Amino acid sequence: MTVIAPELELTARALVAPGKGILAADESDGTIKKRFDSIGVESTEENRRAYRDLLFSTEGVEGYISGVILYDETIRQEASDGTPFPELLASKGVIPGIKVDLGAKPLALAPGETITEGLDGLRGRLEEYRGLGARFAKWRATYSIGENLPSEYCVWTNAHALARYAALCQEAGIVPIVEPEVLQDGAHTIDESAKVTGRVLQGVYTELRDQRVDFAGTLLKPNMVLSGYDASDRAGADEVAERTLDVFYRHVPAAVPGIVFLSGGQSDADATAHLNAMNARGPHPWQLSFSYGRALQAPALKAWAGSNVEAGQRAYYHRAKLNSAARSGSYAPEMETASV
Ligand code: 13P
């Protein structure tokens, strides 16, 4: 393992500062179009800019949000007053980040499985993004649970790519968020989710170590261990918390400063309740936090509906505040309906 500059560990620790988590606002063009379609808003460059402006300029949300993951288009855009987005965020003490993978593509000779692309030319892109203000990055690999899936081939190729990305990030002075997402679609049991998530993490940490990545300058962004979304008898919050913690205690080194969960297809309230249940069982060797996309944005998107900025900001602020409470295990479902 190479020992990296202290700056990387400081950035990683700032991203998981107590009471704070990350907003994932790095939807690719295809994904943001899907989100806008759901509220009947056309996905034009200006509408995408206006929506991100709403999120980034929400007053006071920096009390709950430590960093924002941007997309290639967004990191080059500006707030309505002409301030570049990375500058606007940094002025509030929010750390700008960037999605650098180019998406999960079909893995050759492996029907139903994917490999994430984007390594070619990554060194140059990281240098440019750092110049634009990015201090951390994200790369997402996906794995499906199914009959004989994921294959060992899929586990190892994605772990290898994640580690190559992470090493390039550290070399460039950027904190890599390592995101192996075991998709929770389907009818699998929570046992299957635990088994696959553990296997995937084992592969990822073996490759990170072999490729000389310093764990202290990284963050992990994983799925929670859940019953499949279509399973008939789904595990409740206590079981999710206990099974998820069990897998992470077995597979994630204590040198990693934080685990920042993705929300996947969980409802907003479930994503918050699950994080809360894990933190209520703390302290843990790592900070347990959030890096939610859908679970932070869904109510804001709906309230905004293309024009109502104030309602959108209120909804986003409320969701961020509840997830902040879940960082210390002090969230309660009654807070959902407290005045927004
Ligand atoms: P979700 O929280 O919507 O899963 O998004 C997080 C993310 O960044 C997925 O890559």
**Following DSSP, what letter does each residue of 68-105 receive, concatenated?**
EEE-HHHHT-B-TTS-BHHHHHHHTTPEEEEE----EE
Only one residue has tokens 């893995």, namely: 107
- Asked whether residue 55 is domain-assigned, the answer is yes
Q: Determine, yes or no, domain membership for 103.
A: yes
Among 20, 99, 138, 221, the one annotated catalytic: 221
pLDDT (tens digit per residue) in 254-279 = 999 999 999 999 999 999 999 999 99
pLDDT tens digits for 42-84?
999 999 999 999 999 999 999 999 999 999 999 999 999 999 9
- Cα separation, 40 vs 19, whole angstroms: 34
Structural domain range at position 253: 6-337
Neighbours of 30 (CB within 10 A): 9
CATH number of the domain that residue 118 is part of: 3.20.20.70
Is 1 a domain residue?
Answer: no
Q: Is residue 239 part of a domain?
A: yes
In the structure, what pLDDT confidence band is assigned to residue 338 with cuts at 50, 70 and 90?
confident
Close Cβ partners of 286 (under 8 Å, ≥ 6 residues apart): 16, 220, 248, 252, 254, 256, 257, 258, 259
Number of domains in the chain: 1
**Which residue out of 9, 27, 113, 179 is catalytically annotated?**
179
Residue 309 CA to ligand 1 center (angstroms) comes to 23
Q: 142 in helix, strand or coil?
A: strand
The pLDDT, as a whole number, for residue 1 is 63
* Residue 210, CA distances (Å) to 5, 182, 294 in order: 19, 22, 34
Active site residue 20: no
CA 253 to chain centre: 19
